[in-house]
Amino acid sequence: MTESEHVTVATRELEAFVKNVLQCSGLTEEDARISAEVLLYADRRCIESHGVARLERYVTELKTGGILPRAEMQIVHETPVSLVIDGGGGMGQPIAYRTMQRCIEKARTTMICLASIRNSNHYGIAGYYTLMALSAEMIGISMTNSAPLVVPTNARDAIIGTNPISLGVPAGQQQPFLLDMATSTVPRGKLEVKARHHQSMPDSWATDEEGLPSTDAERVLDNLKNRRGGGLLPLGGGTEETGGHKGFGLGVAVEILCGVLSSGAVATEVYGRQQQPSGVAHFLGAINPAAFVGLEEIRQNMDRFLGMLKASPKATGQTRIFVAGEKEYDCQDCTRVKLPLERKVFETLNRVGEPFGLRLAEL
Amino acid sequence: MTESEHVTVATRELEAFVKNVLQCSGLTEEDARISAEVLLYADRRCIESHGVARLERYVTELKTGGILPRAEMQIVHETPVSLVIDGGGGMGQPIAYRTMQRCIEKARTTMICLASIRNSNHYGIAGYYTLMALSAEMIGISMTNSAPLVVPTNARDAIIGTNPISLGVPAGQQQPFLLDMATSTVPRGKLEVKARHHQSMPDSWATDEEGLPSTDAERVLDNLKNRRGGGLLPLGGGTEETGGHKGFGLGVAVEILCGVLSSGAVATEVYGRQQQPSGVAHFLGAINPAAFVGLEEIRQNMDRFLGMLKASPKATGQTRIFVAGEKEYDCQDCTRVKLPLERKVFETLNRVGEPFGLRLAEL
């Protein structure tokens, strides 16, 4: 079996399969539907690392108490323009989905709503929730903390999460701007690819057990697994000379907006206890364009600006300048009815479905 | 004269000198006072690149029409939680100061106020305005676009600004968190230091006239000056492999919040016309802690979180983990009454003051 071997499945069937597995794992039908939709959306946008490939992990956590399938979300604090939500240790996707929905509703009349959410779990791709705001013709914000995988500048151990930042802004003729970026240089998945191919990695990706930049992906992954120190580097790499302290600062900012403003878990507190909810925290927001110059002007300004960027002369050897989100929009257009899955992922899905008598067919 | 030669001046006298020069250049007394305060604040925090060393440039622009000394700020649009401001081409510091003051006042009752500001000018350090929010026991946000100096991933030319992002969050026993970072790997000033010493620079800092990473600072600066292509690289460097597209995405996000939401200038439109106001745009915000879990809980959460970060084991060879803003707070404590100035800066200040009969004394 080669790494690149793929099978093709029907998108609709895959979505139903994922939903059924999650429902059999204890989620309500509605929560299972939302979770499946968020996971499928990642695959549709070619962000396979955050799509159905994660189903096994969710099912395991639903079984072992990492995710509480029937948790109740609570509004801890509310003002006309803000929310503090306690997710009760439930599934991340429905918690974030319902919070964003409420932010959008509130922003229709109050112009802005920002929400800080504690006691949630992994919520899939950050960009899904900004896309919800874009669908409502609003500006969207989405951030989350995560398991501690990133080493602060000058530190030895992984202390903060990969902490993605997502911002979505509507455009007119152009595709909307959709930033969705981890604040580490790369996600762990990129190290796994290097390790599988026994290739060395750039020294701005990760550090070894002494906290020094390393090019040995297998060693770093092994250290992380056995908590021997080291981990992923913040955007900018391992030194202040290359701006690593800036990526670290952004990662800390995300921890604050998610975990501090909600009195939730931060840094090593996230996934800090075995077989208990992870405490992952999020920050979501919707901004009504009417708070500023209004939707139509914003659309026109975006088209002019994004057009300028894309028409600008290319570096030698390059043919295209990509604006955040563009690659994923390109991908999304061509994969509506069928989806390619790595054979390994396909087989794992069927293994996960088997106890529930659920089976996914190859096309 | 060596580069490191410094003279010492009285802080209060320096501030009065800067204020008087700006007033003689046409600003109102109040605008001159605010501008001097913002500039001095940078020097007090050891961010000399954005302090009084920039006075000559401001005075030149006030003379040639780049900054309109008696411009009137206008509120273009206002909601309970937002502002769109037109600065009328005036001095950046008083425009940003007054907007942030208004954001803070509004957020006292409406919890959140975000402002997008067009037709302003260089506003000094981004962090000054977040510090205003911190002084009012609020969370502060400050961003600005700037002259186009940064090359998008895959592009040849500098198209977007260095576009700093600042976020300030109050703490209790710990110093507040105060992020203030350009979204380029380094500012132009760092290239100038390398050029003066004929040293090569890391290849994540800048590109040459073909848009390819360069280690030759003199060449890059010369290209920028003569608009031959190339420029500073976004945080993360020149390739997607090292995350350069993420720094580029952040820079674009700042242009959008500042220039798009206000219908102001973006990218190469900023400083796009000779001897006319630059069109620099800002984004400022104040968030009342009562929008979330409240000031006291946030202070406690921050102390716990920042304490965790700083107590964490250090990388081999390192003795301290710095949280954003900490180095500047350390510096600030020891430079209250007197300030060191590079002799070259001191001499320039006196040359600028001479036509107005103003003189700054060396202690």
ipTM for the complex shown: 0.97
Question: What is the CA A250 to chain-centroid distance, rounded?
Answer: 16
| Closest Cβ opposite residue B315 in set A156, A253, A317 | A156
The strand pairing partners of A184, in sequence order, are: A234
How distant is the Cα of B201 from the closest Cα of chain A, in angstroms?
10
Q: Do the Cβ atoms of B235 and A246 come within 8 Å?
A: yes
| Closest Cβ opposite residue B212 in set A153, A262, A315 | A315
Q: Among candidates B128, B33, B93, B60, which has minimal Cα distance to B348? A: B60
Is the confidence at residue B1, as pLDDT, over 60?
no
Find the helix or strand (DSSP H, E) in which A118 lies: strand A112-120
What are the backbone dihedrals phi and psi of residue A141, each rounded to the nearest 5 degrees, phi first?
-130, 140
B322-346 pLDDT, tens digit per residue, is 999 999 888 875 557 899 999 999 9
Which chain B residues are within 8 Å of A207, Cβ to Cβ? 315
Sequence-ordered alpha helix ranges (H) in chain A: 11-24, 29-44, 55-64, 92-110, 127-135, 188-196, 217-225, 244-255, 295-311, 326-333, 343-353
Q: Do the Cβ atoms of B235 and A236 come within 8 Å?
A: yes
**Distance separating alpha carbons of residues A160 and A249, to the nearest angstrom:** 11
Residues 6+ apart with CB under 8 A from A1: A343, A344
Binned at pLDDT 50, 70 and 90, residue B4 comes out as low
Q: In this structure, are residues A71 and A61 in contact, taking their beta carbons and an 8 Å threshold?
A: no
Which chain A residues are within 8 Å of B154, Cβ to Cβ? 314-315, 318, 320-322
Question: Mean per-residue pLDDT for A273-277?
Answer: 91
Binned at pLDDT 50, 70 and 90, residue A334 comes out as low
Interface test with A, best of B119, B212, B261, B300 (most A CBs within 10 A): B261
The strand pairing partners of A120, in sequence order, are: A280
What's the pLDDT at A329? 85
pTM of the model: 0.97
Binned at pLDDT 50, 70 and 90, residue A3 comes out as low
Which chain B residues are within 8 Å of A297, Cβ to Cβ? 263
Q: Do the Cβ atoms of A305 and B263 come within 8 Å?
A: no
A208-254 pLDDT, tens digit per residue, is 999 999 999 999 999 999 989 999 999 999 999 999 999 999 999 99
Chain A with chain B: Cβ pairs closer than 8 A: 268
**Distance separating alpha carbons of residues B158 and B114, to the nearest angstrom:** 29
> Judging by DSSP bridges, how do beta strands A280-287 and A139-144 pair with one another?
antiparallel
Q: Could you tell me which chain B residue has the CA closest to the CA of A86? A: B293
**Distance separating alpha carbons of residues B154 and A322, to the nearest angstrom:** 8
Residues 6+ apart with CB under 8 A from A135: none
Q: Do the Cβ atoms of B236 and A236 come within 8 Å?
A: yes
Write b or e for each residue in B174-199: b if 16 or more Cβ atoms lie within 10 A of its Cβ, otherwise e: bbbbbbbbbbbbbbbebbeebbeeee
Question: Mean per-residue pLDDT for A73-93?
Answer: 98
Q: Tell me how far CA of residue A265 lies from CA of A147, B153, B162, B305, in angstroms.
A: 11, 35, 33, 9
Which chain A residues are within 8 Å of B79, Cβ to Cβ? 111, 290-291
How distant is the Cα of B165 from the closest Cα of chain A, in angstroms?
9
